[in-house]
Amino acid sequence: MKYVLGLSFEFKYYKNPANIKIFSNNQLIDDIDLTEDIKLKTITPDELCKNLPEYNKWYWPGWDTSIDSYNSFQYKKIPEKMFVYTLDETSVQNSIKIEVTNDNTNYSNSFMTKWSSITFRHIFLIPTYYLNLKNYALLFQKENPVITNFDRQSPIDKVNNNLIWPDETRFVKNGQLVNENSNKTHWCNWEKGGSFSFELPIIECILKKGLKMLGPINYEQLLEKEKRRLHLNDSCPLYFNHFNLINTQNETA
């Protein structure tokens, strides 16, 4: 089985290139020099849902009639690039590690007014087989039908207490999943200057033997009762579709 690792991030360039190194199982996957801005781009719901009619009825005019889902559409700003890598299963073992070298500022005499920064928006790990929308939708239907989002039956409070597949972004604190932008452990949607690194554990999916997935930081501290349910992320196929990843693979599970 082959896996696809995807990363998207915003980058604000200043003065000199920044560098990102990506490791899987301590093996260098890519060494990227960032020499120009990577900006967010605005995309309308109908553009993002193009060729995915299953999504149109959710996001516009909206599955929740109490809000204007079209105007509040939460995925309409995404990075203009996505970095994608196909990995052999032997490389998908322990963790995905990101190392950023970025010391580009105009710091002088204790003052700093300009700097380059990186904001990671999205990291996913998924078998190529599930880049097919039908396979993606049916992944947990038999094992755990309330988790599949294609019928919009999972209450948000349950989602917050479930592991998310295939792009877990949270970390573990006091045995529970939390999402705090103010916490330095949290890597997602946090604009950061300077050099830093973070490591995302690779764990085995509790509902499907042999399936590897990204876990939250400090996963080993998560209470056992919090490991039993999964939430299927319904936004990922939108990204896969937009970056021409979906329905392009013909792998067997």
Nearest to 124 by CA among 35, 202, 193, 206: 202
Burial of 202 (0-12, 13-18, 19+ CB in 10 A): buried
Per-residue pLDDT of 83-142, as tens digits, reads 999 999 988 999 999 999 998 876 666 666 687 899 999 999 999 988 877 777 676 554
- How far CA 169 is from CA of 4, 75, 123, 216, in Å, comes to 17, 16, 8, 6
Residue 145 and residue 139: Cα distance in Å, rounded?
A: 9
Residue 95 and residue 71: Cα distance in Å, rounded?
A: 37
Strand pairing of 230-232 and 196-204? unpaired
Residue 48 and residue 44: Cα distance in Å, rounded?
A: 6
Q: What pLDDT is stored for residue 58 in this prediction? A: 47
Per-residue pLDDT of 141-191, as tens digits, reads 544 443 434 334 344 444 566 888 899 988 998 888 888 766 667 888 888
Residue 194 and residue 192: Cα distance in Å, rounded?
A: 7
Q: What residue type is 231 in one-letter code?
A: H
Residue 200 has a CB neighbour count (10 Å cut-off) of 21
Q: Categorize the per-residue pLDDT at 6 as very low, low, confident or very high, splitting at 50, 70 and 90.
A: very high
Q: Categorize the per-residue pLDDT at 54 as very low, low, confident or very high, splitting at 50, 70 and 90.
A: low
Query: Is the model's pLDDT at 36 over the cut of 70?
Result: yes
